[in-house]
Amino acid sequence: MDYSFFDFLTLAGSLGMFLYGMKLMSEGLQKVAGDKLRSILSAMTTNRFTGVLTGILITALIQSSSATTVMVVSFVNAGLLSLAQSISVIMGANVGTTVTAWLISLFGFKVDISTFALPLIGISIPLIFSGKSKRKSWGEFIMGFALLFLGLDFLKNSVPDLQNNPEVLAFLQGYTSMGYASLFIFLALGTILTIIVQSSSATVAITLIMCTKGWIPFEMAAAMVLGENIGTTITANIAAISANVSAKRAALAHLMFNVFGVLWVMILFYPFTSMVGWIVTKFGPGDPYAMSAFLSTLSPDVISEITSGKELFDPYLIGLQKELTSLQVSVSYGLSLFHTMFNITNVLIMVWLVNLYVYICSKLIKQKKGAEEEEFQLMFISSGMLSTSELSLIQAKQEIAVYGDRCYRMLNMVQELYYEKEENQFLKTFGRIEKYESISDRMEIEIANYLTHVAEGRLSSESKEKLRVMLRVITEVESIADSCYNLARSIKRRNEGKSEFTDEQNRHFDQMLSLVNRALLQMNKILHKQEVAHDDINPSYNLENEINNYRNQLKMHNLEDVDKKVYDYQDSVYYMDIISECERLGDYIINVVQAVVEKKI
């Protein structure tokens, strides 16, 4: 076969351009409507039907079912969606992803959109270099659209010419006439291709080209499309590997939904595809089954002539070329309709079984006993896989809120430690605080690494500013955890020094810790808010002033007590170490609140 390594690289580059165009188009749209997508997804899932519609809408907009399902898994992880809501959105995403196939069928084969690609890129360039982030995002969308179809055109022209290589064609045809065994082989091929390429839209495009080139008959291409529906679930399952139990269940539900759908279609495969063929023949451009028969009547030389792209003068060849183009459109319409009808029918059947899916997933993936077992991993963000850059920020925000909750638990442990008299229990509680401090260090690094990865994607200027604020916030929250640990160490030093505080000192400590406790609660309340207002900072400022004033008051009081020999000087050192650390903790808390409220992350 006359197919060089350079030709292979050209094919890989064409696929790369197609995928990059899709990514650019998707990210551009998400930046134009990133916050709107979040609010739509979290608000429009009141029941299973609105959930399905939401999934269709979002996926049709961002042109990626993988992005939608990863986003959904992230939202389940973050507690923004229930498992039942997520399953209905994922069902809708499967329908929404069929829009890409229709775009390719309508424009990729019927209209030579690649001729408009360069003018579209010309339009997008001034927008991309615009100072306004919204214009820049629209420019990226137009550029992505142009590159997608330019890549598709290159892909069509760079696939190997199998008609002039009958030995390879014979190899392929050897697997197309084995009945149901052939269907399962091509179904597996579609699944594997999608897992490798990580985009069902790209593999649908490849399948359309394979079928319109006459490599495989219509039925085998339809089986590949079914396989692509299974392969696309891998992305969400990868995203859920390091997520919580609910997110793992959502990803499993996606896999089950598509696998069960493929099973019932495989049972009714031939009647179902015949019905699709009849619809396209009756109401569309022609019979999608006729491509293989048409090509089998032509010699390789004739096929080469009519597919070369050169201008033809022979009326016979011109007629054959028109017939081939018409059949290519028929095949692409047939596969797009098959893809759409399969997903719509599957949703109409499965939408009534959402609660059954929830039950099965809950039984297969069980919650571990004891909260401690899942205590020490990130809950809302996955180090294994990012969702799209703009939408990743909400996950990071949720994780930071959990980080604040962890610090609050640490502070409560400090209060337990202060009054603990039994040595073994004291050491056990101190060990827990020490462990929490170590976890907080890991959390800071993991959230920071995640945000760094997010920063590598395309972000609007507002999101970049939010990301910078988040990095500052996690540093301050880690300082709160350090401060809690320093308090525990000061209490431990007091115990090792056999120091006994007076009842009055204990009351003062309780009062100081109560103020810090309230400040930390207020901070966490702000971190958990979806939207913050500037007035939210006032209670925190008031508490910070109270903490500072009380520290100054206790400092003066402490000097008087030492002068009056109410307690030893060493006791006063231990005591003031604890009080001063409480005041520092208050400073870190107000730093977090200022960053969040003033920049409104």
Range with the largest mean pLDDT of 154-163, 359-368, 388-397: 359-368
Q: In angstroms, how far is CA 199 from the centroid of its own chain?
A: 14
Quick: pLDDT tens for 30-68.
677 655 655 565 555 566 777 788 788 777 766 666 667
Residue 472 pLDDT: 93
Residue 77 pLDDT: 63
Q: Which of 231, 172, 161, 245 is nearest to 196 (CA)?
A: 231
List of residues 6+ apart from 549 with CB closer than 8 A: none
Contact indicator for 246, 77 with CB cutoff of 8 Å: yes
pLDDT confidence tier of residue 384, bands split at 50, 70 and 90: very low
CA torsion through residues 136, 142, 145, 146, sign:
negative
Give the chain's length: 601
pLDDT confidence tier of residue 111, bands split at 50, 70 and 90: low
Domain boundaries, the chain: 5-364, 374-599
Q: Decide if pLDDT at 9 tops 60.
A: yes
Quick: pLDDT tens for 59-102.
776 666 666 776 677 667 655 567 777 788 888 887 887 776 67
pTM of the model: 0.56
Neighbours of 285 (CB within 10 A): 18
Neighbours of 600 (CB within 10 A): 15
The mean-pLDDT minimum among 528-542, 558-572, 578-592 falls in 528-542
Scanning the structure block, which residue is given the tokens 């109560």? 514
Q: Decide if pLDDT at 282 tops 70.
A: yes
Compute the mean pLDDT over every residue in the chain, rounded to the nearest whole number.
80
Report d(CA 394, CA 98) in Å as an integer.
27
Q: Which of 525, 527, 514, 493 is nearest to 582 (CA)?
A: 514
Report d(CA 288, CA 326) in Å as an integer.
10
Contact indicator for 416, 429 with CB cutoff of 8 Å: yes
What's the rounded mean pLDDT across residues 334-347? Answer: 87
Q: Decide if pLDDT at 165 tops 50.
A: no
Report d(CA 466, CA 89) in Å as an integer.
28
What's the rounded mean pLDDT across residues 287-306? Answer: 74
Quick: pLDDT tens for 567-598.
999 999 999 999 999 999 999 999 999 999 87
Residues of the chain by 3-state class (helix, strand, coil), percent to 5:
80, 0, 20
Quick: pLDDT tens for 209-218.
777 777 778 8
Report d(CA 564, CA 364) in Å as an integer.
69
Contact indicator for 58, 181 with CB cutoff of 8 Å: no
Quick: pLDDT tens for 436-451.
898 888 889 889 988 8
Residue 84 pLDDT: 79
Residue 104 pLDDT: 65
CA 123 vs CA 118, 135, 168: distances in Å? 9, 11, 43
Q: Decide if pLDDT at 355 tops 70.
A: yes
| Topology adopted by domain 374-599 | Methane Monooxygenase Hydroxylase; Chain G, domain 1 (1.20.58)
Listing DSSP states for 579-597 in one string gives: HHHHHHHHHHHHHHHHHHH
CA torsion through residues 300, 303, 309, 310, sign:
positive
Exposure string (b/e) for 123-140, b if CB count within 10 Å is 16 or more? ebeebbeeeebeebbbbb
List of residues 6+ apart from 385 with CB closer than 8 A: 70, 235, 238, 239, 241
Q: In angstroms, how far is CA 61 from the centroid of its own chain?
A: 15
SS3 225: helix
Residue 210 pLDDT: 76
| Residue 283 tokens, joined | 């109401």
Residue 329 pLDDT: 79
